[in-house]
Structure 1
Amino acid sequence: MTEDLSSDTLERLRLPADPAAALTRLVEAGADRVPWPAQGRTLMRWRALAEVAAHDLSLAKLYEGHTDALAILAELHGPAVPPGSRWGTWCAEPPAARVAMRPEEGCPGAMRLDGRKAWCSGAAGLTHAIVSVHDEEGRACLAAVSLRQPGVRVSDEGWEAVGMAASASVDVHFDHALAVPIGKPGDYVSRPGFWQGGAGIAACWWGGALGISRQVLALAAQGAKPDAHRLAHLGAIDAALAGGAAVLQQAAHWIDTHPADDARRVALNARLVVEQSAETVLRHAGRALGAAPLCRDARFARAMADLPVYLRQSHAERDLAALGQIVFDQRSAAWAL
């Protein structure tokens, strides 16, 4: 396991600008060996995700997918991870992009995959992936697949957005590709790690807001002494980050002390609070600095374009409704200080 992954550590690694190459550097340095969720150091795991996100959100998309894949393989006793391998976790299920899994005749335990998978972040630079698939009975399953084999074609299609463009989230086509099943049908969403990992996504969102906030502070210090309006925006940013950090700390503690429990309510709370705090940072960052850095500072402009796209991993009002249903069904709000 890696120690705390700080901004200084990332600077020392001299990460390449290309997210796939940067992920390779992180893997080679052992910086992907973060603690598993619910093992007593969940907050340390999330701090690593947040720091990578503060550095580069497209890299964070790949890093989070890779570390999530390693955690899934550990939790569901999947195949061994080859040294130096770089994994994706591709489990989006749009209706028009599904992958079928069929047994390989004469080879017990082996499967063949056919179909198209959408939103495969970093596909061209990865070596392996965990993908959600459907077996012959239509049940949702997970499979581990090597991407360096005949029958796997990484396209250049499926992403038109400016934000998160460097994540290279494209469509991948499987044509009788060899794979290994992971766990039992339904394990992906029924295991405790599903919502524990879902809460970790919020650490990436918070890290993206942190990176923007650091840049706002640095840019604000370059000119004349900030006026009251700019200081007010900095104050709003500080309060938003503090609120998001507090709920993440609370969620990490709950997960570590309830490792086998359903973390759905905790995860939804964390995601929704952090989403709001990140949107607050976005709003005040632009207003604090005006148009100049959005037009003339490439890193700041990219982060401001990336974060709104990354935040749409949230299901917005659907998640709010899901959380409200949980509160209503449980008849126990547990609202206390």
Structure 2
Amino acid sequence: MGERIDQCSQEALPLLVGDMLCEIVDKHLDLIPLPGSGATLERWRVLAAIAGRDLSLLKLYEAHTDALAILAEAGVTDLPPLSVWGVWCAEPPGALLNARHVAAEGALVLDGEKRWCSGAMFVTHALLSYRDEQGQACLAAVDLGQEGISMEDDGWKAVGMAATRTTTVRLSGVRATAIGVPGFYLERPGFWHGAIGIAAGWYGAAAALAEKLRQALHNRKDPHALAHLGEADCRLSGALNQLREAARFIDANPVAAEAATICRLALSARLQVEAASQAVLDHVGRALGPAPYCLDRHSARILADLPVFLRQSHAERDLAQLGTLCIESGESPWKL
């Protein structure tokens, strides 16, 4: 898999990534452990391993496997054979998706647009968020093979994550199936489980970059470069321990954890991995100069993709929410 991606030209990479996602589904390699099933860390190891090869493929694979986890959590088991799923739940200002119920047909109909739709050119089905009349977050499943769906494929200007073919999808009179009750998507325990899964992908890419640095310094005695490797090791070790602890907690408390507890755990894990990844990006360049950006296709692609993918984090907003949870915990959360 990795060799095929490394040998692919930049122009052909999006098609290859889409083909590989479909191949993964065809071979049932998407059937990884569900979060909270007792093997959450194994699930995240798969995500990290794919991220270490190609972040665009990981983005599509993680969304597909997250969709399967969401549907399982909602009790939906009758899925179309070999269907490939996206999850499109971003709700930026100005992008409205309206839902109406056609009572005579017993159908849910969607009109409007969804932005930040990764993999839109490759997937066959998608889970989309929308707001009902009371403003509650709702979720719907859509078969993308029907009429009334169009895609704007020229909005992505970045080099990073370009192979995901992230686009805006417009819907007009599109039939959909409601998944769960209003509020299900955001209130279910799996929301935070999936959020940490994203961070496992960030970690996998950062660890792959750090391994490039470790190999490059194997026979060098440059103390300054070695100091950069030492700092990368400290940051990644802390993030790794946080991910392992989060996986243990989720497996021990798959549905019963208090909302504030799992939220704090997820925010802490994501923010620690984000900080570690940012540090690795910085230290690899400072230790090795332009070489990883220019002379190695694999590392160059991660260096372009990872900063874009990390912006799926909410940055200071997440830090502020974490700080609020620390205060509301009632006692010091840092006792050894």
Calculate the TM-score normalised by the size of structure 2. 0.91
Contact 1:153 1:174 in 2 (8 A): yes
1:107 matched residue in structure 2: 105
Contact 1:78 1:183 in 2 (8 A): no
Q: Is residue 145 of structure 1 aligned with residue 145 of structure 2?
A: no
Runs of 4+ in 1 over 4 A off after TM superposition: 10-17
Q: Is residue 133 of structure 1 aligned with residue 136 of structure 2?
A: no
Q: Is residue 317 of structure 1 aligned with residue 316 of structure 2?
A: yes
What does the per-residue CA deviation read over 1:7-41, in whole Å, with 9 as the maximum and x for residues that have no partner? xxx55998984221121122122221111111111
Q: Please, which of 233, 241, 252 is the counterpart of residue 238 of structure 1? A: 233
1:67 matched residue in structure 2: 65
Query: Counterparts of 1:333 and 1:75 in 2: how far apart (Å)?
Result: 33
One-letter identity of the residue aligned with 1:274: V
Query: Counterparts of 1:215 and 1:26 in 2: how far apart (Å)?
Result: 27
Q: Please, which of 90, 93, 111 is the counterpart of residue 92 of structure 1? A: 90
2:75 matched residue in structure 1: 77
Greater Cα shift, 175-184 or 20-29? 20-29
1:80 CA displacement: 2.1
Residue aligned with 1:123, SS: coil
Q: Is residue 187 of structure 1 aligned with residue 178 of structure 2?
A: no
Contact 1:102 1:136 in 2 (8 A): no
One-letter identity of the residue aligned with 1:248: L
Q: CA RMSD in A?
A: 1.9
Query: Counterparts of 1:32 and 1:226 in 2: how far apart (Å)?
Result: 43
1:135 CA displacement: 2.6
Contact 2:5 2:54 in 1 (8 A): no
One-letter identity of the residue aligned with 2:281: L
Query: Counterparts of 1:322 and 1:138 in 2: how far apart (Å)?
Result: 22
Superposed counterparts of 1:1-337, under 5 Å: 10=1, 17=13, 18-78=16-76, 80-108=78-106, 110-220=107-217, 225-260=220-255, 261=257, 262=259, 263-337=262-336
Query: Counterparts of 2:204 and 2:111 in 1: how far apart (Å)?
Result: 36
1:6 matched residue in structure 2: none
Contact 2:102 2:108 in 1 (8 A): yes
Query: Counterparts of 1:159 and 1:134 in 2: how far apart (Å)?
Result: 26
Residue aligned with 2:98, SS: strand
Contact 1:213 1:281 in 2 (8 A): yes
Query: What is the aligned residue count?
Result: 325
Query: Counterparts of 1:229 and 1:12 in 2: how far apart (Å)?
Result: 32
Using a 3 Å threshold, how does the CA distance of structure 1 residues 79 and 94 change in structure 2: closer, same or farther?
Answer: farther
Calculate the TM-score normalised by the size of structure 1. 0.91
One-letter identity of the residue aligned with 1:240: R
Residue aligned with 2:121, SS: helix
One-letter identity of the residue aligned with 2:268: N
Query: Counterparts of 2:213 and 2:165 in 1: how far apart (Å)?
Result: 27
Contact 2:2 2:54 in 1 (8 A): no
Query: Counterparts of 1:51 and 1:20 in 2: how far apart (Å)?
Result: 18
Contact 2:137 2:186 in 1 (8 A): no
Residue aligned with 1:212, SS: helix
Query: Counterparts of 2:4 and 2:104 in 1: how far apart (Å)?
Result: 46
Query: Counterparts of 2:188 and 2:77 in 1: how far apart (Å)?
Result: 17
